Amino acid sequence: MRGQKYILALDQGTTSSRAIVFGREGEVKAVAQAEYPQIYPREGFVEHDPLAIYSSVAAVAADALAKGGINRSEIAAIGITNQRETTVVWDKFTGAPVYNAIVWQCRRTAEHCDRLKEQGYADMIYDKTGLPVDAYFSATKLAWILDNVPNARERARRGELLFGTVDTYLMWKLSSGTIFATDYTNASRTMLFNIHSLKWDDELLELFDIPKAMLPEVKPSGCVFGYTDMSEFGACVPIAGVAGDQQAALVGQRCFSRGMSKNTFGTGCFMLMNTGDTAVKSNHGLITTLAASLADKPVYALEGSVFVGGAVVQWLRDELRIVRSAAETEKCAERVDSTLGMYIVPAFVGLGAPYWDSYARGTVTGITRGTTRDHFIRAALESIAYQVGDVLSAMEKDCGDTVKSLAVDGGASANNFLMQFTADITAREVVRPQAVESTALGAAYLAGLTVGFYDRAELEKPRMGDAVFVPKMAEEERRRLLDGWADAVRRARR
């Protein structure tokens, strides 16, 4: 490690790419971010140009290092975290994508998923992968590319094409084609990977007609995947940590032990609970998935996905235009003592966990002549907390553990009203770290722990400066509000 002072985290997200340089105390030394184009060829279709993704990553990496005055030779390791499920297929010999990346949000394969469920495959797929059959995951996206790009399936069978999620494509590009791998967390989101045997599943590959030769090697999240190419990156640096964004955030929040949980308040909300070496089967609408690990021995997690979290505030701002910025919602909500019985169920694209109701639609209930703009804004913020509470309740029922403290991150976690209401409505302590760059920090921790840059015992010590929100609401009031929420959800469904 002599002369090597930093970890570079590459955070490749759905709308932008970021590079963050971290020091030995996990402090941020430099940040760069760049957006890249979203492609919507048809209603329900969402795509990215893989070359634009990589160009944005390369640009922000160079920019962050330049801003920090950091030489590439001072980077001890690179950690990568990425949008999950997004599917890329490229030519093994030229590196040219055969089609745009099909993004996790894309619904083009919903009918394919419906057919699989009608044919009785849902239980088999869940038992092997921990996932419900849904267009969200990679398998049907990959099958669509092989079915719709001329000669793609034949070329794949000849070993000419490669498949990967975004992490795999980035590593392949950064290493000039010498790394063709992914990690447990990203593989577990493809609907092709058996999370119990930790292998690509032959029965699933046959079901989707996917040639095994096009699949990457799967490794633990914290390991040396390989090295960047001098001509591509400007230095030979180990890529030593890779995890999908939500699993990376679980590491960034230092949820290393069974029962520890985090919720990311982003456009949606994603809650993960570390379940240790046990793959907990969900009977309450959650996903069983792999968490990031530093060894071949797997670590499992339960995950609940809320489709519309912070996006309800974007709706207030961009469509209803009753706020100018997300930041002002906090003061608006605090100007009133309650919503006067009003609820918003933001099921704009259906409801995710624990309901998985794609036919639910956004609903507003309880409006009276006394309802004001501030009540409306407060109800929108409260809707985020109610959904988080639903997922947390499902997790506790599935695993039998009581969550005493919920770690939070993401843009909307900066809203103090929302954090306090979340603590109140869940009757759980909510802990917001001083630095909320949990996703990138998780990738940095994985890479740094792998190469000995960070020490796990140090990371497990209590952090100073965290904001803690303690429940203050009376239990009778909490139950009354939750009953009203349950009634509003019933009205929104089907």
Average pLDDT, the chain: 91
- How do residues 339-352 score in pLDDT, each as one tens digit? 999 999 998 878 88
Please give the pLDDT value at position 297. 84
> What does the alpha-carbon distance between residue 466 and residue 431 come to, in Å, rounded to a whole number?
7
Tokens in use for 90?
């490229």
Confidence of residue 221 (pLDDT cuts 50, 70, 90): very high
The Cα–Cα gap between 444 and 442 comes to 5
- Res. 190 pLDDT band, cuts 50 70 90: very high
Which pLDDT tens digit goes with each residue over 287-337?
899 999 888 789 999 999 888 888 899 889 888 999 898 889 999 999 999
pLDDT at 125: 95
Q: What is the pLDDT of residue 441?
A: 92
Q: Give pLDDT, residue 16.
A: 84
Would you state the pLDDT for residue 259? 83
Which of 42-51, 78-87, 230-239, 399-408 bottoms out in mean pLDDT, i.e. has the lowest? 399-408
pLDDT at 471 over 90: yes
Average pLDDT over residues 19-34: 90
Q: Are 32 and 22 in contact (CB under 8 A)?
A: no
CA–CA distance, 301 with 258 (Å, rounded to integer): 9
Cβ atoms of 19 and 90 within 8 Å: the answer is no
- List, in sequence order, the alpha helices (H) in 202-275: 202-208, 230-233, 245-252
Tell me, what amino acid is at 38?
A: Q
Q: Residue 243 is encoded by which pair of tokens?
A: 């995890």
Name residue 78's amino acid. I
State the average pLDDT over residues 48-55.
94
Please compute the mean of the pLDDT values over residues 191-212 and round it to a whole number: 95
pLDDT in tens, 419-463: 999 999 999 999 998 766 788 999 999 999 999 999 888 887 777
> Is a pLDDT exceeding 90 seen at residue 209?
yes
Averaged pLDDT for residues 125-138: 90
CB atoms within 10 A of CB 456: 12
* Band (2; pLDDT cuts 50, 70, 90): low
Give the ranges where 368-428 is alpha helix by DSSP (H): 373-399, 416-426
pLDDT in tens, 482-491: 999 999 999 9
Q: What's the 3-state SS for 256-301?
A: CCCCCEEEEECCCEEEEEEEECCCCCCCCCCEEEEECCCCCCCEEE
pLDDT tens column, 373-416 = 999 999 999 999 999 999 999 998 888 777 888 889 888 898 99
Q: What distance in Å separates the CA atoms of residue 234 and residue 50, rounded to the nearest whole number?
A: 21
Report, as an integer, the average pLDDT of 190-215.
95
**Span 6-18, average pLDDT:** 91
The per-residue pLDDT for 38 is 82
Residue 35, sorted as left (phi over 0), alpha (psi -120 to 50) or beta, turns out to be beta
* The pLDDT of residue 237 is above 60: yes
